[in-house]
Amino acid sequence: MTLHSINDFLARIDSYIGGSPWFVYLLLGTGVFFTFYLGFPQLRYFRQAFRIVMGKFDQKDSQGDTSHFQSLATALSGTVGTGNIAGVAFAIHLGGPAALFWMLVTAALGMTTKFVEVTLSHKYREFASDGSASGGPMYYLKNADFKLFGKKVNLKWVAVLFAIATIVSSFGTGNMPQINSIASSMKATFGVEEIITGAVLSVLLGLIILGGIKRIAATTEKLVPTMAVFYVIGVLSVIIFNYQNIIPAFLSVFADVFTGSAATGGFLGATIMFAFNRGVNRGLFSNEAGQGSAPIAHAAAKAKHPVSEGMVAILEPFIDTIVICSLTGMALLTSGVWQQKVENQFQMADMVILDRIYEASNENDQALLFDYLTLNGDLNTFNGNLNIVNGQIENQPSILHARSVAEDIVVYQSEKTFTGTLNVVEGRLQNMPEDLEFLGKSLIHSAPLTAMAFNRGFFGRYGQYIVSIGLLLFAFSTAISWSYYGDRSITFLLGSSYVKYYRILYVGGFFLASIIDTTIIWTFSGIAIALMTLPNLIGILWLRKDMKDTVKDYWKRFVPGKGIID
């Protein structure tokens, strides 16, 4: 079985769980349920959350390892990452401006989900003999009083499943894809070889995570604000430079919500459901609400009452998605790059060769392409041989790349124009030489699209460096946080004595991923994330009454100006 077929097999499995519509609706539905069940806590407790994180109610005898701010910074460093740079661009590329609206709705509901999962995980955390705290969904799944028809139910096996899935995800989400993205970006932007980037950052990562949560917290509380300020300055340079487009861009986010996005420029349009699905999907990827990762970081916080830390968690989706993702989205929309075709090297996974010529300016062809790209229609794809002479495709049919009709295509091999024949089956090139490249004009997406937007600001062509450095900082901080999620899961399963071996493997995997393909790891991680999320959501829904009683207890014991009184 080839690596490609293994990846396809894993992707098929993921399509039935994490990639399926019911999974998205379960995540959103949980947020909607708790929003109403607890009386809109994301609004009622928002001011209180800020006061707590600023240390207004800190008490010296509170148990834990980190401050509220440090725990928030650690959790944010795990969520503020490539999703804020590449994820927003990908959502708008797929669903148009309305996708940003659905990202914001997802974040608003995610604020409540984070509040619930962090509160319950903090409530049932445990302390080791050295006084260090361990928490997360695996601890409430193990320690909470679950009952079914009046009888106690033992969910420790579910807790074990969650912990194993978290360890896998720590490599597949927080480790290997992150350094792979960093190394590729540093090579493309600054010409630094991947192995050098991997070696330097692996040493730095090892020095940080071997110091445990206190060193991790001390690093993230400085790194997160620094990278946020650095990135926001870059974003604002684009938005202010294109100030005349601010109001039209803002209105487009809401105008297309119930109509879908019409074709404009190279963008061929998106339906309401397409924008909804892509916006929700990218929003959840960005803020991780319901996944159960952030509660592990928050469990280390010094707090007299679990609700205090739950309120702090309300701020995470707000900062991550409502603030940072919104700013990225506005930069993309005000600059106009999301609908502009540019010269780029085509990615084979994004390229489909059709059976005839389609004109995007022709209304009938445009409608056919729109239906095809929004999964509501089908088009015949090319089968046969493409004859290429001096880089030009003879009798070239339409080629879709990045969901747009590609133009001015030239084929190169080893940086010289290619002459020869290429076989195509169902629109896909077969057995293509590794050094063969298709260059032409089309839409682009993900991090390259954001980089192009940053070039349309006050910094000019230097704006792309802000994206590259931002990606480095965001992705590296994500790797730091996920190492902690993994080592807490190892502690839960095997005990603290095995954590050092996990950390060595984590750093080793981090280095290797800078120079190898991580596609299979990324795909497998999608399955692991679903296996983290499902038991976490089922658990917090099961403990809904426990949650409501815990919130009531907090306000019963809370004294204004003093905090929680025993």
79-96 per-position pLDDT tens digit: 777 778 888 888 898 888
* SS3 at position 384: strand
* SS3 at position 454: helix
H-assigned helices in 38-155? 41-44, 46-53, 68-79, 82, 88-95, 98-123, 137-143
Mean pLDDT along residues 476-482: 89
Give the separation between CA 303 and CA 68, rounded to whole angstroms: 8
Per residue in 142-152, pLDDT (tens digit) is 999 898 888 88
Residue carrying structure tokens 């946020």: 228
Whether the per-residue pLDDT at 233 is higher than 80: the answer is yes
Give the separation between CA 425 and CA 406, rounded to whole angstroms: 19
Handedness of CA 272, 273, 278, 280 (dihedral sign): positive
N-term to C-term CA, the chain: 62
Res. 309 pLDDT band, cuts 50 70 90: very high
Residue ranges, CATH 1.20.1740.10, the chain? 41-340+454-564
Per residue in 464-473, pLDDT (tens digit) is 888 888 888 8
Please provide the average confidence, as pLDDT, over all residues in the chain.
Answer: 88
CA-nearest of 506, 479, 468 to 80 is: 479
H or E, element range at 148: strand 147-148
Number of Cβ within a 10 Å radius of residue 493: 15
Strands (E) in 399-539, as ranges, are 399-401, 404-405, 407-413, 416-417, 420-425, 428-429, 436-442
Whether the per-residue pLDDT at 130 is higher than 70: the answer is no
Give the separation between CA 550 and CA 545, rounded to whole angstroms: 8
Give the separation between CA 331 and CA 325, rounded to whole angstroms: 10
Give the separation between CA 446 and CA 346, rounded to whole angstroms: 14
Give the separation between CA 397 and CA 376, rounded to whole angstroms: 22
Res. 112 pLDDT band, cuts 50 70 90: very high
Give the separation between CA 64 and CA 69, rounded to whole angstroms: 13
* SS3 at position 60: coil
Number of Cβ within a 10 Å radius of residue 411: 22
Q: With pLDDT > 70 as the criterion, what percentage of the chain qualifies?
A: 97
* Chain CA centroid to CA 352, Å: 26
Single pTM value for the model: 0.87
Per residue in 51-64, pLDDT (tens digit) is 999 888 877 777 77
* Chain CA centroid to CA 298, Å: 19
Geometric angle at alpha carbon 15, from 140 and 107, rounded to 5°: 55
CA-nearest of 526, 546, 382, 456 to 18 is: 526
For residue 38, give both structure tokens: 């607890």
pLDDT score at 212: 78
- Residues whose CB is less than 8 angstroms from the CB of residue 230 and which lie 6 or more positions away in sequence, other chains included: 466, 469, 470, 473
Fold category of 41-340+454-564 in CATH? Amino acid/polyamine transporter I (1.20.1740)
For residue 415, give both structure tokens: 């940086």
Q: What values do phi and psi take at 438, rounded to 5?
A: -105, 120
Give the separation between CA 532 and CA 168, rounded to whole angstroms: 10
Per residue in 366-383, pLDDT (tens digit) is 889 988 887 777 889 999
pLDDT score at 4: 61
Geometric angle at alpha carbon 386, from 384 and 391, rounded to 5°: 170
Give the separation between CA 364 and CA 548, rounded to whole angstroms: 56
Distances (CA, A) of 56 to 43, 49, 366: 19, 10, 58
Whether the per-residue pLDDT at 125 is higher than 70: the answer is yes
- Is residue 119 within 8 A of residue 540, CB to CB? The reply is no
